[in-house]
Amino acid sequence: MNTVLSRANSLFAFSLSVMAALTFGCFITTAFKDRRVPVDIHVSKVMLKNVDDFTGPRERSDLGFITFDLSADILPIKPIFDWNVKQLFLYLSAEYGTKSNSLNQVVLWDKIVLRGENTKLNLRDMKSKYFFFDDGNGLRQTISLSLSITPQFSLLLRLRALVSS
Amino acid sequence: MLPIFKSIPTHMDYKGQKLAEQIFQGIILISAGIGFVYGLIIEQFGWTVYIVLAGFAVSCVLTLPPWPMYRRNPLSWQPALPESTAEPSQKPQESTKKKKHK
């Protein structure tokens, strides 16, 4: 501590350790919150085709086109945007079971909600963003849609699924 | 450029170094506590970081330059021996000292 450089070195290292402790404290205060949000999904039109699937083996697979309505209010009484959340990544996935696979999950649509943006979602007649291919020909059974919200923390990644419909 | 920087005195005495260390640790801890509580209240971690950085800057200004408050207890060195009277007996000691330093 007798030269400027050694003082600056110890000062900087101490500041970094204190910042690490603050970051851990921030994680501890928000890691165990319950973040469920009720949502309302309604499928308005389903169109199913059976076409050539060029991404996989050369067989004809099922291709589904889905248009749906979605309404959700993500900012209820307790806010979901606390200080540990940088943005929200929402995605809609269809889960179903077939003969060959017991559980399939296909992502149909996603959206990124940044901090400070509008948090009331009221979507009508949204088309699916991604192709809804099936491995075989099993899309004719009933599928259940589930909406999952992934908060992308600035400090920690956390996955949580909320189901409705 | 380097000789200019080396000629600026930057030393502190031992009690001054201890005081400087206590000062910067205290300032950074206090600003970290204030920043944590403030960020928790307004739900933004960016403000916590800003407050800690402000505390870091304040402690930089307070502890890096050698202010006179850190030089209040200087060490009392013994007076230097004049070399002309002790030349014949000190020459072999000086040569061994030089060997050790190098």
User: Looking at the predicted structure, is the pLDDT value of residue A111 above 80?
Assistant: no
Q: Which of A1, A20, A21 is nearest to A11 (CA)?
A: A1
User: Looking at the predicted structure, is the pLDDT value of residue A125 above 60?
Assistant: no
User: Is B39 close to A7, i.e. CB distance below 8 A?
Assistant: no
B36-90, pLDDT tens digit by residue? Answer: 998 888 877 788 889 999 999 999 988 888 888 877 877 788 888 888 755 555 4
User: Is B64 close to A25, i.e. CB distance below 8 A?
Assistant: no
A50-91, pLDDT tens digit by residue? Answer: 555 555 555 555 566 665 655 555 554 445 656 566 666 767
3 state SS of B90: helix
Structural contact between residues A159 and A125, judged by C-beta atoms closer than 8 angstroms: no
The reported pLDDT for the residue numbered B63 is 86
Among A107-111, A154-158, B30-34, B49-53, the minimum mean pLDDT is found in A154-158
More confident residue, A112 or A148: A112
Q: Which of B63, B97, B41, B32 is nearest to A4 (CA)?
A: B63
- The angle formed by the CA atoms of residues B49, B52 and B58, to the nearest 5 degrees, is 140
Q: How far is A129 from A67, CA to CA, in rounded Å? A: 10
Closest-CA residue of A relative to B11 is A2
Which tokens sit at B57? Answer: 């800057």
Distance (Å) from the alpha carbon of B78 to chain A's nearest alpha carbon: 21
Q: For A19, what's the count of Cα atoms within 13 Å in the CB-facing half-sphere?
A: 19
B4-28, pLDDT tens digit by residue? Answer: 666 677 777 888 888 888 989 999 9
Q: How far is A18 from A23, CA to CA, in rounded Å? A: 9
Q: Which residues in chain B are contacts of A11 at CB distance < 8 A?
A: 24, 28, 56, 59-60, 63-64
Beta bridge partners of B90: none
Distance (Å) from the alpha carbon of A12 to chain B's nearest alpha carbon: 8
User: Is B60 close to A8, i.e. CB distance below 8 A?
Assistant: yes
Q: What is the mean pLDDT of residues A23-49?
A: 62
Q: How confident is the model at residue A5 (pLDDT cuts 50, 70, 90)?
A: confident
Q: What is the CA radius of gyration of chain B?
A: 23
B78-98, pLDDT tens digit by residue? Answer: 888 888 755 555 455 555 544
More confident residue, B97 or A110: A110
Q: How far is B65 from A37, CA to CA, in rounded Å? A: 55
User: Is A7 close to B20, i.e. CB distance below 8 A?
Assistant: yes
Torsions phi, psi for A146 (to 5 deg): -135, 140
Q: What is the mean pLDDT of residues A26-53?
A: 59
Give the residue ranges of DSSP H helices in A3-158: 4-30
The reported pLDDT for the residue numbered A78 is 46
Nearest to B44 among A10, A79, A83 (CB): A83
Residues in contact with B54: Cβ distance below 8 Å, sequence separation at least 6, in sequence order: B31
User: Is B32 close to A18, i.e. CB distance below 8 A?
Assistant: yes
ipTM rounded to 2 decimals? 0.70
User: Is A11 close to B59, i.e. CB distance below 8 A?
Assistant: yes
- Which of A3, A4, A10 should we substitute to test contact with B (largest number of B Cβ atoms within 10 Å)? A4
Pairs of CB atoms within 8 A across A/B: 63
Q: How confident is the model at residue A43 (pLDDT cuts 50, 70, 90)?
A: low
Structural contact between residues A51 and A70, judged by C-beta atoms closer than 8 angstroms: no
Beta bridge partners of B30: none
A19/B contact by beta carbon, under 8 A = yes
Q: Which residues in chain A are contacts of B44 at CB distance < 8 A?
A: 83
User: Is B59 close to A84, i.e. CB distance below 8 A?
Assistant: no
Report the percent of chain A where pLDDT is more than 70: 21
User: Is B52 close to A83, i.e. CB distance below 8 A?
Assistant: no
Which tokens sit at A124? Answer: 């009508």
